[in-house]
């Protein structure tokens, strides 16, 4: 996300200060495009998928015994959110959280529905940019409503495909299992991101060990930063999964809980990976810094060797360049050659000295 | 806060040592101006707001069934505090905490009222100054008394406006909801401050990466310092909100608790932000330090290149500046040009050597 | 405490190893002066204060219904401690802890009395010396016995004054409240110390930012050290206060518990302050280290500028100081001026180069 | 593991994102060789061991009252895994975990069986490579199925030997004890690895203290990296052992639990060792960095000594090399010798100065 | 312990991998000398102490109502351990732990006896060597068997003395109190060690502040290392003491528990001390590193001052050493003196410049 975008979003958060709780204000990237909406309705026997134009088109599905998944791709149109809230009896605080894309991942049980906030992650290795998109799920007894920020691309394609195909158990299970499938897809997106970051990390590590430049430092810094943000996003997922696994809500059936346990395990794995990557990145910084020192050492050594060899020679030359009348050596026949010999001797001695110091 | 002010305040804390608990001593910036007092009294149907001169004017409201909010803007006038304490049966230890502006955020249940201490924050990006002002709330069954330090500006304007407008649920709810609204306003002030600090952080980060100066280091240091103080102020808010959410006091109705849960979530978000900013600031320090090393490297490299090229040349010149009688080269016809050629050869060799070392 | 004193004390701890538990060995600074003893006996109506010569003089007070405070100023006279132990039925392990001035702050409930160990702190800003003195309290149903190390000055003057004055509630309350008052006085002594350390910290911070010397580093080191020791002393106070607040002992009345809660809050505030100071001190070390690098950079830059300007000039001068017969330039009319012009050109170019590198 | 292999594996994890849970996809090094399978069936009286070609050959053993250990060496053949899953009623999520070699160590109780994931470790000191191989155990009432990745060499030889020999209690105990024996063998493999890493650590420490090179830094980095990965592998073992020790499953008999407690203790010991090694490695980094500084100091000192001695001498020589007509000293009889004497004096003074500074 | 010894011991641990649990393999320094054994049997009235040759000699004491302490000084003779194990019904896993001297301190309740593992510490300040010796205690209803590694010297002399003297309560109490006395002696040995390390720390701190050498760094490193190992040894003692204090075993009487509480307090004190020492040592490293920088600064400053003063002078001398025919200044009467004056002016200016920069 560019700096100006981040600033604009921050502004919104601050502006919101002072409003009554339950006031719907969209916080996130400003958008004006039309919200995409889609309904997927299925049971073990039936399957229906349609894009809808007006939000009211999805309301009739609510009464059907089949499982209904309403996917709202964009939360900037407050009107739509309010209509859904009214129809599905979602209270204001929840609606407020849905339109605020700065939420922490979380799960709350409101009796008639469970509210889940998640983040999907995407990574652009070219310019080391980490993008996240918020997904809120409202999970009822026979429906799931998912709210995305409306950014390009989502990670739910595979879930749609599985429902359509109807091969695995997803068509036989309830709304809770659908919620699990969506949550699983969002968690899987982190594995994809971490894979890419892991590769980047290895490239940068190679660079650090072999030919570090100031650019390298910047890359280590960016990696560390992204890992900080990833950790912030993944830690709460653990709690969400654990909350759902241990939930006593009738909305979550016992047979589904073991799947949330599976997500819990995945989140632990993610945290492990992130912490390991952070440790490795910290180690790379140490190497970078010491390689700087090493190179300075080398430069200074060259300077010292050259200076230490030539400074005495130059002095000697200067000595016999003095214009005193009475300098007997100047008249000696082999004076010049003697001085040359002396100079060679000094050079040899110096080289020997550096050799012993292991400088050359 | 200026250094001398901080010192004076510290002095007070130390002076207080040795007094009996419950002795009212104002700890904070010394003030002599008149305390501003205001009463807002409302029910779903009625609304009354008036500034009062004498504290006794607010006492009659206590008996009314409506909700009464007494806002005392200044805690340096011990007389006022004592009168309120007597009228509303607030015990001495609480009064002592109210006039001591060095309290940690906290909430305590005293049966007939709940006592809450909070901090409001303000940030001055120009000179990187973080200001906090303490607010104490005494929440009874049908009244809230708020005590501010009396610094300029407060964050309760929006709450006043909401009560006056009477559009949202605030007029329909009790004193507990009013307390929540005030607490929410104080927590929101931290988001505003963090937004500003976040922008400052980005500016300083740019500076660190592009042209760091000793000034930059000072700014990183100030940012880190402010984040340390913010963390100190925000951490206990989490506990306060959680205490109120789980409170079994009859003063807090069940329907209000979910709003305190909301504040709890906000405090977690604040803590996340602060920790992330601290990590980023720590990373900036690493970059700053390594950029220092990088620049030293560069300077030393220039020195080394210049010295290493010219020192041998100067030696050669010195050699043929010697005054020995018998130096055949001096008489050679092309001796001078030969030496010049040798010098050029040395320069070329050196440049080649530096090239291979990637120094130039 | 001087190094040799510390060593001697350490010796004692080690010597004690191997003795049976309950063996009384005084551990602390060796002392031979007479132990000062004082009895203060009071009720709401009466007040009596007298210094005593023989410890037995205080025994009769035990049977009286009034509250008795026996203050023993010096624990090096094992005989006195043993007599008190026998009379007040204090078991050996407790007596052993009383004479060992290396205890951690702690509180233990022995049924018939509560045993509390505390530390009072004093700070000498001149030579940055942190002094602590141990106070042990034995709190019975109608008496408190306090044991101090007998160092000069104590922090209980204000408590004595409050009892004598009889204005606040202290004369109306029991021995538990007296214990609280003494504990409060000891905790307050830390605030005084932290105030002084806070001022020192600011002075050293100014020094670090403006003109750091190796002396500055030593001061930062001492501050950090003192904060380490303070933290060690204050952390357990939190547990002591919390233990007393939640105690179910009949010796502590319910009305007194809220005062221990107050001390608990103070200890949290102290811990906050100490941690904040430690973070600030750690930041100062970073600044100190980077200011070292900065200054080295500056020195090396001066060296490089001077060298880089003059080395080529000196080479040129050397070149035309050569004694070759055939050097046509030497005979040119404006040869000398030409060389001078060349030199000026080199200087100008170099200055321009440094300007562009932002070195000058 | 080579970099390309690691990358390929990562790819698989990411690819798997989007599949339904319970879909079997082998994640790990790509393999095509035949899976080795072996059955060991024993009771106190009997012992039978045979390699099998088709997985169905092991099914008859299930009905026997004896203990059966089926060892599957390779999890890349999905068909085999599915057949076993069907026969032994292992649910899909478990099978999915078995073929995914990127699992965290874990234990789960599924009622009719307990599922355990472990890692075996191997270390190659030559190129500092740490290798791990995943082992999954399915522990039923009278059988244990172990799934290895199929890498060369395993750590179960000793267990096989003990069963064959039948000397210790292994033949008298149930499947739970067999599971313990296998788990014990895997934990023991970490001790072997830590022993080797400990020796490497000592070698590198010697190198760091005596003649550190940039190579040394790389080795410290690799050691730290390996310790990071080891910690990641060992930490969860503690939980696994503790889970099994406290398990209330009828599959684990009370007499066996104390053996799991033993493994728990071992895992604590491993964690202690790893943390200690990490602290030591961190200390080595500090030493390495300061030895760099020390060496730079030494180099610069040599440069400074040589320069500081000869620069004034060279100046003096240059002074009397000037060609002014009117330079009386040049005509003095002992002018030359005087200058020589002055030079010697300067050298002596300088040496004395360096001596006092403790530079030489 | 020398490096080769450590390596040999490590080897043993690794070798043991693969053996059945309960297999007795001595892990520790290889020893062949005879195991020393001693029995002390006492009651309030009686006392008997004798060295025994064959382990069977101590068996008859078991049946007596008196308290029996069997001290086995050496665990390398597996035969003896096995005989004791059989006679006192100690299970194999415990025996295995006894002969493995690499155990963590721990306590386990086996119903008929309690098994305790401890470490005694010794410190050799001369070469900064920390030695530990493992002691295992088997505590029954009327006996304690202690197993030492058999290194020279033990810390139980004082306990023997106390039993013989019979003055304190040790003769009146049971086997649990004896166990406490032995544990207390082992914990006391850490105080002795920490006292010595504390003194060493002060010496090294003085050295660091006043004249640090590379040797100093090595000493800091060793101190830190020893503190790491001490911490590893002391942390579990806390748990052991707390386990025994809260134990519900009939083997530990209520009156003895307060003594284990005492040990618990001591272990907290030890941990405090160790952590404080570690913080101080970490601070010393910072000082060492910055003193390196300081010294480099000083060296470079000297170089810069000398160079910066003489390089321009040398240039001037070189200038007037040129051999141009047409150099009017050379003929001026006071040309030479003018140049000399210019040189003095340059020197004065430079000194003034350095003064202002606070370099001299």
Q: Partners for E (CB, 8 Å, 3+ pairs)?
A: C, D
* Token couple for B211: 């042209």
Q: In angstroms, how far apart are the furthest CA atoms of chain E?
A: 121
Residue E296 within any structural domain of the chain: no
Residue E88 within any structural domain of the chain: yes
Cβ separation B22–C323 shorter than 8 A: no
Residues of chain E neighbouring C282 (CB-CB closer than 8 A) = none
Taking 70 as the threshold, does the pLDDT of residue C11 lie above it? no
Q: Choose the closest CB to B315 out of A6, A7, A310.
A: A310
Residues A327, A247 within the same domain = no
Of C251, C270, C290, which marks where a domain is finished? C290
Residues of chain A neighbouring D311 (CB-CB closer than 8 A) = 311
Taking 80 as the threshold, does the pLDDT of residue C125 lie above it? no
Cβ separation D299–A359 shorter than 8 A: yes
Cβ separation E104–D184 shorter than 8 A: no
Smallest Cα distance from E109 to chain C, Å: 25
Distance CA C295, CA C297 (A): 5
Residues B257, B304 within the same domain = no
Residue B81 within any structural domain of the chain: yes
The pLDDT tens digits of the residues spanning B255-290 come to 888 889 889 988 998 998 899 899 888 888 888 888
The pLDDT tens digits of the residues spanning D127-171 come to 778 888 899 999 999 999 999 987 776 788 888 988 998 877 888
What's the domain range around C7? 3-290
Assign B5 a pLDDT band (cuts: 50, 70, 90). Answer: low
Cβ separation D20–A198 shorter than 8 A: no
The pLDDT tens digits of the residues spanning A13-23 come to 555 666 777 77
Q: Choose the closest CB to E20 out of D168, D304, D321.
A: D168
Residue B295 within any structural domain of the chain: no
Whether A328 has its CB under 8 Å from any CB of chain B: the answer is: no
Whether E288 has its CB under 8 Å from any CB of chain D: the answer is: yes
Between the CA atoms of D330, D336, D342 and D344, what dihedral angle is there, to the nearest 10 degrees?
160
* Token couple for E221: 């490193």
Q: Choose the closest CB to A198 out of D10, D93, D303.
A: D10
Do the strands A114-124 and A129-139 form a parallel or antiparallel pair, or are they unpaired?
antiparallel
Of D273, D290, D307, which marks where a domain is finished? D290
Taking 60 as the threshold, does the pLDDT of residue E8 lie above it? no
Residues D214, D322 within the same domain = no
Q: What is the DSSP letter of A357?
A: T
Better-scored residue on pLDDT, E156 or B360: E156
The pLDDT tens digits of the residues spanning D230-258 come to 988 898 999 999 999 988 899 999 888 88
Residues D326, D260 within the same domain = no
Cβ separation C321–E321 shorter than 8 A: yes
Residues D8, D153 within the same domain = yes
Q: How many CB atoms lie within 10 A of CB A234?
A: 22
- For residue B336, give the nearest of E9, C325, C160 by alpha carbon: C325
What mean pLDDT is predicted for residues E154-169?
84
Distance CA A265, CA A239 (A): 11
Whether E313 has its CB under 8 Å from any CB of chain D: the answer is: yes
Residues C201, C218 within the same domain = yes
Distance CA E29, CA C257 (A): 57
Whether D202 has its CB under 8 Å from any CB of chain E: the answer is: yes
DSSP alpha helices (H): ranges in B88-213?
A: 92-99, 157-165, 175-210
* Token couple for B344: 């050029």
Distance CA B338, CA E211 (A): 54
User: For position C325, which CATH number holds?
Assistant: 1.20.58.340
Q: Choose the closest CB to B228 out of C280, C287, C301.
A: C280
pLDDT at res. C325: 84
Whether A313 has its CB under 8 Å from any CB of chain D: the answer is: no
Contact indicator for C155, C185 with CB cutoff of 8 Å: yes
Percent over 70 (pLDDT), chain C: 94
Of C290, C307, C322, which marks where a domain is finished? C290
Q: Partners for A (CB, 8 Å, 3+ pairs)?
A: B, D
* Token couple for C231: 């933290």
What mean pLDDT is predicted for residues C21-29?
75
- For residue D204, give the nearest of D293, D288, D121 by alpha carbon: D288
Whether A16 has its CB under 8 Å from any CB of chain B: the answer is: yes
Smallest CA–CA distance from E337 into chain D, residue: D327
Whether E23 has its CB under 8 Å from any CB of chain D: the answer is: yes
pLDDT at res. B237: 92
Residue A89 within any structural domain of the chain: yes
Residues C275, C308 within the same domain = no
Cβ separation B317–C312 shorter than 8 A: no
Cβ separation A17–B303 shorter than 8 A: no
pLDDT at res. C17: 60
Taking 70 as the threshold, does the pLDDT of residue C7 lie above it? no
Number of CB pairs, chain B paired with chain C, less than 8 A apart:
156
Pick among A161, A255, A318 to test the D interface (most D CBs inside 10 A): A318
Number of CB pairs, chain C paired with chain E, less than 8 A apart:
155
Cβ separation C13–E195 shorter than 8 A: yes
Smallest Cα distance from E320 to chain D, Å: 5
Report residues of chain D scoring pLDDT below 70: 1-18, 153
Residues E28, E119 within the same domain = yes
Distance CA A140, CA B303 (A): 73
Residues E196, E337 within the same domain = no
Taking 80 as the threshold, does the pLDDT of residue A28 lie above it? no
pLDDT at res. A1: 43
Q: Choose the closest CB to B21 out of C184, C209, C297.
A: C184
Assign C279 a pLDDT band (cuts: 50, 70, 90). Answer: confident
Please, what sign has the CA dihedral across residues E25, E28, E31, E35? negative
Residue A86 within any structural domain of the chain: yes
Residues of chain E neighbouring D265 (CB-CB closer than 8 A) = 103-104, 106
Cβ separation A192–D217 shorter than 8 A: no
Cβ separation D199–E229 shorter than 8 A: no
Distance CA C330, CA B280 (A): 64
What mean pLDDT is predicted for residues A92-114?
88
* Token couple for C354: 């440094």
**Stretch 222-251 of chain C: residues touching chain E, C-beta under 8 Å:** 224-225, 228-229, 232
Cβ separation B323–A322 shorter than 8 A: yes
What mean pLDDT is predicted for residues A207-230?
86
Please, what sign has the CA dihedral across residues C256, C261, C266, C270? positive
Cβ separation E300–D297 shorter than 8 A: no
pLDDT at res. A7: 54
Q: How many CB atoms lie within 10 A of CB C34?
A: 11
pLDDT at res. A18: 61
**Which H, E and C letters describe chain C, residue by residue?**
CCHHHHHHHHHHHHHHCCCCCCCCCCECCCCCCCCEEEEEEECCCCEEEEEECCHHHHHHHHHCCCEEEEEEECCCCHHHHHHHHHHCCCCHHHHHHHHECCCCCEEEECCCCEEEEEEEEEEECCCCEEEEEEEEEEECCCEEEEEECCCCCCCCHHHHHHHHHCCCHHHHCCHHHHHHHHHHHHHHHHHHHHHHHHHHHHHHHHHHHHCCCHHHHHHHHHHHHHHHHHHHHHHHHHHHHHHHHHCCCCCCCHHHHHHHHHHHHHHHHHHHHHHHHHHHHHHHHHHHHHHHHHHHHHHHHHHHHHHHHHHHHHHHHHHCCCCCCCCHHHHCCCHHHHHHHHHHHHHHHHHHHHHHCCCC
Pick among A167, A181, A195 to test the D interface (most D CBs inside 10 A): A195
Whether A314 has its CB under 8 Å from any CB of chain B: the answer is: yes
pLDDT at res. C285: 86
Smallest CA–CA distance from D104 into chain A, residue: A269
pLDDT at res. D2: 47
Residues E286, E311 within the same domain = no
Between the CA atoms of A192, A193, A195 and A199, what dihedral angle is there, to the nearest 10 degrees?
140
Contact indicator for C78, C42 with CB cutoff of 8 Å: no
Q: ipTM score here? A: 0.73
Residues A328, A242 within the same domain = no
Residue A297 within any structural domain of the chain: no
Contact indicator for B309, B344 with CB cutoff of 8 Å: no
User: For position B184, which CATH number holds?
Assistant: 3.30.460.20
At residue C78's C-alpha, the angle toward residues C75 and C79, to 5°, is 125
- For residue A40, give the nearest of A52, A32, A28 by alpha carbon: A52
Cβ separation B300–A302 shorter than 8 A: no
Assign B92 a pLDDT band (cuts: 50, 70, 90). Answer: confident
Residues of chain E neighbouring C229 (CB-CB closer than 8 A) = 276
At residue D253's C-alpha, the angle toward residues D247 and D258, to 5°, is 75
The pLDDT tens digits of the residues spanning D262-279 come to 899 889 989 988 998 998
Cβ separation B331–C325 shorter than 8 A: yes
Smallest Cα distance from A329 to chain B, Å: 8
Smallest CA–CA distance from D196 into chain E, residue: E10
Whether D174 has its CB under 8 Å from any CB of chain E: the answer is: no
Whether B292 has its CB under 8 Å from any CB of chain C: the answer is: yes
Contact indicator for C304, C275 with CB cutoff of 8 Å: no
Assign C1 a pLDDT band (cuts: 50, 70, 90). Answer: very low
Residues A137, A42 within the same domain = yes
Residues of chain D neighbouring A325 (CB-CB closer than 8 A) = 330-331, 335
Whether C106 has its CB under 8 Å from any CB of chain E: the answer is: yes
What mean pLDDT is predicted for residues A199-219?
86
What mean pLDDT is predicted for residues B141-168?
86
Residues of chain C neighbouring E185 (CB-CB closer than 8 A) = 17-18
What mean pLDDT is predicted for residues B312-325?
90
Helix (H) or strand (E) holding D267: helix D254-319
- For residue A165, give the nearest of A254, A49, A252 by alpha carbon: A49
Q: What is the DSSP letter of B247?
A: -
The pLDDT tens digits of the residues spanning D287-299 come to 888 888 888 888 8
The pLDDT tens digits of the residues spanning C162-187 come to 899 887 788 889 999 999 999 999 99
Whether C331 has its CB under 8 Å from any CB of chain E: the answer is: yes
pLDDT at res. E14: 54
Q: Which of A299-313, E206-220, E345-359 has the lowest mean pLDDT?
A: E206-220
Whether A2 has its CB under 8 Å from any CB of chain B: the answer is: no
Looking at the structure of chain C, the number of domains it has is 2
Whether A276 has its CB under 8 Å from any CB of chain D: the answer is: yes
pLDDT at res. B6: 52
What mean pLDDT is predicted for residues E167-178?
88
Distance CA A277, CA A85 (A): 41
Chain-wide mean pLDDT for chain B? 86
Q: Choose the closest CB to E286 out of C7, C285, C300.
A: C285
């Amino acid at each position: 996300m560019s700096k100006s975008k981040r600033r604009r979003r921050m502004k919104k958060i601050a502006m919101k200060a002072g409003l009554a709780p339950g006031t719907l204000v969209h916080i996130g990237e400003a958008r004006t495009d039309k919200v995409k909406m889609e309904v997927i309705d299925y049971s073990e026997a039936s399957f229906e998928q349609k894009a809808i134009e007006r939000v009211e088109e999805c309301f009739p599905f609510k009464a059907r015994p089949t499982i209904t998944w309403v996917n709202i791709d964009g939360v900037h149109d407050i009107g739509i959110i309010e209509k859904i809230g009214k129809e599905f009896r979602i209270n204001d605080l929840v609606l407020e959280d849905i339109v605020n894309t700065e939420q922490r991942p979380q799960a709350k049980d409101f009796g008639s529905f469970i509210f889940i906030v998640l983040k999907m992650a995407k990574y652009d290795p070219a310019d080391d940019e980490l993008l996240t998109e918020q997904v809120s799920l409202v999970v009822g007894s026979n429906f799931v409503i998912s709210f995305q920020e409306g950014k390009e691309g989502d990670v739910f394609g595979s879930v749609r495909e599985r429902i359509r195909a109807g091969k695995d158990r997803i068509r036989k299970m309830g709304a809770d299992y659908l919620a699990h499938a969506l949550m699983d897809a969002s968690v899987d997106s982190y594995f994809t991101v971490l894979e890419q970051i892991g590769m980047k990390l290895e490239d940068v590590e190679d660079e650090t060990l072999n030919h570090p430049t100031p650019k390298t430092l910047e890359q280590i810094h960016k990696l560390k930063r992204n890992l900080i943000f990833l950790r912030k996003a993944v830690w709460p997922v653990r709690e969400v999964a654990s909350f759902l696994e241990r939930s006593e809500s009738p909305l979550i059936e016992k047979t589904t809980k073991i799947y949330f346990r599976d997500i819990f395990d995945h989140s632990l794995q993610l945290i492990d990976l992130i912490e390991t990557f952070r440790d490795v990145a910290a180690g790379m910084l140490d190497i970078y810094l010491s390689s700087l020192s090493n190179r300075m050492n080398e430069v200074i050594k060259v300077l010292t060797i050259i200076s230490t060899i030539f400074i005495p020679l130059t002095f000697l030359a200067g000595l016999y360049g003095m214009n005193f009348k009475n300098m007997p050596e100047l008249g000696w026949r082999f004076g010049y050659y003697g001085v040359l010999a002396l100079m060679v001797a000094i050079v040899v001695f110096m080289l020997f000295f550096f050799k012993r110091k292991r400088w050359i």
